Amino acid sequence: MRFACSVVISLILVIGSSEGSDVLELGDSDFDRTAAMHETMLVEFFAPWCGHCQRLAPEYETAATKLKGTVPLAKVDCTTNTEICERFGVNGYPTLKIFRSGEEAGSYDGPRTAAGIVSHMKKHSGPSSVALISEVDLDSFVDNFEAGVVGFFSGDDSEQLAEFLKASSAMSDSYRFAHSTDVGTGLKYGVVEECVLLFRPPRLNSKFEDSVVKYTKPVSLSSLRTFIRDNVFGLCPHLTTENRETLRESDLLTAYYNVDYIRNIKGTNYWRNRIMKVATQFQGRGLNFAVADRQEFQDELEEEFGLGLSEEGDIPLITIRTSAGHKYSMQEEFTRDGKSLERFLEDYFDNKLKRYVKSEAVPDSNDGPVKVVVADTFDEIVNDPQKDVLVEFYAPWCGHCKNLEPIYKELGEKLSGDPSIVIAKMDATANDVPPNYDVQGFPTIYFVPSGQKEQPQRYEGGREVSDFISYLKKEATNPLVLSDSREEL
């Protein structure tokens, strides 16, 4: 193990944690001292009112308990510890960062579930590559829920081994590595000389693709990284909350059903094989495939696709999510012969499918000084080519949004007589945000000029009425018409 807990550190863990909690509570006064005593520490910067933080809290607490004695987890309340949060550039909640010996090592970009946090952080606490002595060690390493990369080398002095260990150290956060200094260890996989093998998880073995992929080029970080990235997931991987961010970097079709690789591998692969059979017909066309457990993603299916538990659970639900944020769902029931999926994919590639857009109902009345925008009226209001639009993306639970509300309303009132400008807002938790708007925190505000609707400008100024008016005077297409001329600064 990479870490050892001293008596002093153990005492700090006890003192810094709240009663009954394994999460360290740090602040401006003790952050630097405590962080410096841990080789690696994960820190959550949060606000008590933040809905995302509230949802993360039980997962973070569970992860802290499971990682106790290995990697400490800490949290900082940014509403009461502004100095430390400002120093590390925290501008949204929750923000998670990894620290090494008191120094910021980078943002945590792993899953935000207990299991995902534990898996991600454990990779920081052990050797980057496990040494395999025998064929039994190899079998044990390969028989895992995750893929594994194994290098076979001629001896401890192998130059390729040295390069492999460098590469594994750089990529151990993302993949599992092992190595053997006896090429004979991999004899049953056809290993007769130095090489690297990528083992896909045994539960995903299929007649449609190889379960082991061989890499025979000279080992280097860049070439090995490319090889793993291109081969690790295979034709149809198992999408989980831990790997979804990586898999969704590309356009992805997902089949949601009762996926259970613990208690029902055969039943799970029954449907997966039918997905893969169709997938082989559409390879190389820029769309990837995956299967996922619908229970694990039920909240997401309901919120983003309007698909509830009322649908038959053992029949796959098919959706497509593109890297640009466009969404489609298959309306026809999935048939066992795969023909319905074939028709769905043909329509997708022929651009015949209608995108799915989550939207609140259009308001019966929208005469207030701040126009309410929903996804179904976004084009009509925000993309009106004759209007400049200042649009706020908010969340109902967001404290900053609530503080802004009266100021934003006053701004709308002062500009209510201007026919060329619209002050608008949209609940970004209840409506799909167009893909060309980057909304990672709340509130996020954009200015959308008339005639330039494809180039929205993120507003980064102050949050007082005078700040907004000063900005709009500079950016608006036409001179502002204010209801009270005394406000013209």
Whether 398 is catalytic is yes
Q: What are phi and psi of 206, to 5 degrees?
A: -150, 155
Active-site entry in 50, 78, 85, 195: 50
CA 481 to chain centre: 43
Active-site entry in 78, 85, 195, 401: 401
Whether 53 is catalytic is yes
CA 170 to chain centre: 21
Whether 5 is catalytic is no
Whether 78 is catalytic is no
Q: How far apart are CA 101 and CA 32, in angstroms?
A: 9
Strand partners, 130: 178
Active-site entry in 78, 195, 236, 398: 398
Scanning the structure block, which residue is given the tokens 């609140």? 360
Q: Position 414: which residue type?
A: K
Active-site entry in 5, 53, 78, 85: 53
DSSP line for 312-370: -TTSPEEEEE-TTS-EEE--SPPPTTSHHHHHHHHHHHTT-PPPP---PPPPS---SSS
Task: From 450, 463, 443, select the one nearest 392 (Cα to Cα).
Answer: 443
Q: How far apart are CA 99 and CA 34, in angstroms?
A: 11
Q: What are phi and psi of 18, to 5 degrees?
A: -75, 160
Helical H segments across 151-237, by residue range = 159-171, 221-231
β-strand pairing of 457-458 with 444-448: antiparallel
- Catalytic positions are 50, 53, 398, 401
